[in-house]
């Protein structure tokens, strides 16, 4: 009799855990995925950023950032730098003539929840066709007035352990 009660209790507990896991998984999928349309819109902003860097289109480059955006870079020595969008745009514009700045993305993840999006991606960076460094980009975007804008961009930079080195 006691054994039946224990087995019955375990069965109920297992059923509750399974239904809870299913609910949690469905909830996580809704948060991590977002709609296909919103993911595409977020990725379009990211593509515009890197296309504008390659072509040195400073107007298009500046347009992807919220005016309050910040860039956080972790350099090879571990030093953290903070840059404003205007300074970043200026640095791209003042790169040596004819040197194409090409950031190649791999394994990009997009997560969207309402007006908030996160992009996480590995990258290899090339300057003038020469490998420079690699790392990860982490971007935060907010949708305001119907448009996605980058509000924060953090990246790491290294030469070791890169796919292209």
pLDDT digits (tens, 9 = 90+) for 31-72: 445 799 999 999 999 999 999 999 999 999 999 999 999 999
pLDDT score recorded for residue 75? 82
* Cα separation, 68 vs 161, whole angstroms: 33
Of 78 and 104, the one with more pLDDT: 104
Mean pLDDT of 96-112: 95
Q: What is the 3-state secondary structure (H, E, C) of 2-46?
A: HHHHHHHHHHHHHHHHHHHHHHHHHHHHHHHHCCHHHHHHHHHHH
Instruction: Characterize the bridge pairing of strands 101-113 and 65-74.
Output: unpaired
Mean pLDDT of 79-84: 94
Q: What is the DSSP letter of 165?
A: -
Of 13 and 88, the one with more pLDDT: 88
Residue found under tokens 């995925």: 33
| H/E stretch holding 104 | strand 101-113
For 107-163, write each residue's pLDDT tens digit. Answer: 999 999 999 999 999 999 999 999 999 999 999 999 999 999 999 999 999 999 999
pLDDT score recorded for residue 76? 80
pLDDT score recorded for residue 165? 65
Judged against a pLDDT cut of 50, whether residue 7 lies above it is answered with no
Q: Which of 99, 133, 98, 105 is nearest to 119 (CA)?
A: 105
Of 29 and 150, the one with more pLDDT: 150
Mean pLDDT of 98-110: 95
* Cα separation, 75 vs 93, whole angstroms: 21
């Amino acid at each position: 009799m006691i054994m039946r009660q224990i087995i019955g209790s375990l069965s109920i507990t297992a059923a509750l855990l399974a239904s809870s896991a299913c609910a949690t998984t469905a909830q996580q999928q809704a948060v991590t995925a977002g709609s296909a349309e919103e993911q595409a819109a977020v990725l379009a902003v990211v593509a515009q950023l890197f296309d504008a860097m390659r072509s040195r289109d400073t107007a298009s480059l500046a347009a992807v950032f919220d005016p309050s955006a910040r860039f956080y870079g972790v350099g090879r020595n571990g030093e953290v730098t903070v840059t404003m969008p205007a300074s970043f745009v200026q640095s791209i514009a003042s790169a040596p003539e004819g040197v194409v700045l090409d950031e190649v993305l791999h394994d990009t993840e997009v997560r969207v929840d309402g007006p908030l999006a996160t992009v996480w991606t590995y990258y290899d960076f090339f300057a003038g066709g020469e490998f420079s460094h690699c790392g990860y980009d982490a971007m935060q975007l907010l949708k305001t007035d119907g448009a996605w804008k980058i509000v924060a961009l953090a990246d790491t930079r290294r030469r070791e352990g890169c796919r292209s080195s």
